[in-house]
C-alpha cells in the first residue's frame, strides 16, 4: 500500500488513480542534475476540502460549502458530513494538543513493542525498544552472517525476539561498527524511519487478510479505548455501543503514501472505523464503491478525526500526500509543545512524519 506505483494499465485509468497521481509528491526535474536541494513540484490544491476553514466559517456565520452539512451528534463540537458519502464523519480538532502529544509518544514507544506486530517482524522478528535504541544510536546486527561470534559482547546487547534472537541483536555503536565488517546491519534510527505499521489488540494477518485471534497481543490502552468510544458515538444511534478490539497504527514519512483500499475485514460494517491523525498535514482521498468513482480530496491535520461507518465502509480511500515542509505541515503547536522537553527526539521525528491511529470493532 505504501507508495507503490506498480499498477496495471486499467488501474491507471481509474478516477481514483488519477487523483492519487495528481496529489502525489513529485520533484521538479530541473533539480535532478543540480546540487541544490530538490524542490517539490507545485500541485493545484484548489479542489481540496478544508474542514478547518469550514469550521471557522460555520462558527462565524453558520455557512458551509455546498455538499457539506453539520451535526453535533451530542458532541460539544460540530461533526461534518458529506451529502454524497453517507456514513462519513469528519471532526476537525477532535484531539486536544495534550492528547496529540501523548499518542505520538505512545505510537513511537509503546505501540510497536512485542507482542504487537510491525512491518519489521517478517525480516527481523519482534523488535524490543526500537525507539530507545534509536535514541541511543544503536545498530541492529545480523549475527548469523558473522564469521565469528563475540559471546562476551553479546552479553551486553539487547535481544530482540525468540525465534530471531540468535540472529538480530542491538549493539552499541562502537561494537556494531566493528562487527559490521562481517555482518549485515542497520541502524536503529533507520529502522525507526522504516517503521510503517504496528497493530494493537487483535492482530491482523496481512498475508491472509484476516484477524488471527490466536496471536498474542496487548490490549488497546483503556484511555485510547475511551477516546475511540467517545468519537465513535457521532456515527452511531443513541445507546448503541462500540467495542474497540483492534487498531492499526500507520507511520508516514516524506514521500510516503497509502494506496486506495477498503477496510472490509470486520464483521459489522455499521460500526465505524475511528481514525485519528497525528503530526504533519496530509491529503485524504474518499472515493466511492468503485475505483471509477471520482474521489473527494480533503486535508487531514494533526488532531482531526475521521469516522467511516455503514455505506462509507464500502468506499475506497487512501492518503496520496504528506506535507513535511514547514510552510504546509502545520505542526507549530506540536513543535512548541515538544520543544519544551529536554528530549527533542519526538520533535525531530514528528517534523518529518505523520502517524495515523485507526481503531475498529472486529466482531
Binding site membership: which residues?
Answer: 261, 263, 317
Asked if residue 235 lies in contact with residue 309, where contact means CB atoms within 8 angstroms, the answer is: yes
Euclidean distance between CA atoms 235 and 241, whole angstroms: 11
Asked if residue 96 lies in contact with residue 303, where contact means CB atoms within 8 angstroms, the answer is: yes
Asked if residue 312 lies in contact with residue 280, where contact means CB atoms within 8 angstroms, the answer is: no
User: CB burial class (10 A; 0-12, 13-18, 19+) of residue 242?
Assistant: buried
Cell of 56: 471557522
Euclidean distance between CA atoms 195 and 193, whole angstroms: 5
Residues forming beta bridges with residue 355, ordered by sequence position: 251, 278
- Owner of C-alpha cell 513540484: 41
* Angle of the 97-109 helix axis to the 222-232 helix axis, nearest 10: 130
| Residue closest to 266 by CA, chosen among 228, 199, 314 | 314
Alpha helix (H) ranges present in the chain? Answer: 9-12, 15-23, 51-61, 97-109, 121-124, 130-135, 151-154, 173-179, 188-193, 222-232, 326-329, 332-339, 345-350
User: CB burial class (10 A; 0-12, 13-18, 19+) of residue 61?
Assistant: exposed
Euclidean distance between CA atoms 243 and 232, whole angstroms: 10
- Residue 193 — φ and ψ, nearest 5°? -70, -25
Residues annotated within the binding site for Fe cation are: 261, 263, 317
Amino acid at each position: 500500500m505504501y507508495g507503490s506505483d506498480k499498477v496495471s494499465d486499467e488501474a491507471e485509468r481509474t478516477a481514483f488513480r488519477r487523483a492519487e497521481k495528481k496529489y502525489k509528491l513529485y520533484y521538479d526535474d530541473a533539480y535532478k542534475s543540480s546540487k541544490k536541494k530538490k524542490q517539490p513540484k507545485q500541485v493545484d490544491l484548489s479542489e481540496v476540502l478544508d474542514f478547518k476553514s469550514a469550521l471557522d466559517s460555520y462558527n462565524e456565520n453558520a455557512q458551509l460549502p455546498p455538499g457539506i452539512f453539520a451535526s453535533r451528534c451530542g458532541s460539544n463540537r460540530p461533526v461534518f458530513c458529506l451529502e454524497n458519502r453517507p456514513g462519513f464523519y469528519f471532526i476537525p480538532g477532535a484531539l486536544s494538543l495534550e492528547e496529540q502529544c501523548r499518542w505520538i509518544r505512545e505510537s513511537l514507544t509503546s505501540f510497536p513493542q512485542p507482542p504487537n506486530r510491525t512491518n519489521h517482524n517478517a525480516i527481523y522478528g519482534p523488535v524490543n525498544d526500537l525507539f530507545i535504541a534509536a535514541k541511543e544510536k544503536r545498530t541492529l546486527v545480523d549475527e548469523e552472517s558473522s564469521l565469528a561470534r563475540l559471546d562476551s559482547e553479546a552479553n551486553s546487547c539487547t535481544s530482540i525476539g525468540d525465534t530471531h534472537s540468535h540472529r538480530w541483536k542491538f549493539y552499541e555503536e562502537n561494537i556494531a561498527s566493528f562487527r559490521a565488517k562481517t555482518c549485515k546491519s542497520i541502524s536503529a534510527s533507520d529502522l525507526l524511519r522504516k517503521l510503517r505499521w504496528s497493530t494493537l489488540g487483535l492482530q491482523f494477518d496481512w498475508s491472509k487478510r484476516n484477524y488471527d485471534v490466536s496471536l498474542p497481543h496487548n490490549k488497546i490502552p483503556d484511555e485510547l479505548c475511551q477516546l475511540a468510544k467517545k468519537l465513535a458515538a457521532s456515527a452511531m444511534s443513541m445507546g448503541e455501543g462500540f467495542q474497540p478490539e483492534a487498531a492499526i497504527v500507520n507511520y508516514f514519512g516524506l514521500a510516503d503514501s497509502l494506496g486506495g483500499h477498503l477496510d472490509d475485514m470486520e464483521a459489522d460494517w455499521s460500526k465505524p472505523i475511528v481514525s485519528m491523525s497525528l503530526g504533519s498535514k496530509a491529503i485524504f482521498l474518499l472515493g466511492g464503491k468503485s475505483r471509477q468513482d471520482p474521489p473527494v480530496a480533503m486535508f487531514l491535520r494533526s488532531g482531526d478525526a475521521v469516522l467511516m461507518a455503514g455505506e462509507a465502509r464500502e468506499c475506497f480511500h487512501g492518503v496520496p500526500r504528506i506535507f513535511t515542509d514547514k510552510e504546509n505541515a502545520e505542526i507549530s503547536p506540536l513543535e512548541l509543545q515538544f520543544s519544551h522537553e529536554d528530549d527533542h527526539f519526538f520533535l525531530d521525528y514528528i517534523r518529518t512524519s505523520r502517524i495515523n491511529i485507526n481503531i475498529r470493532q472486529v466482531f
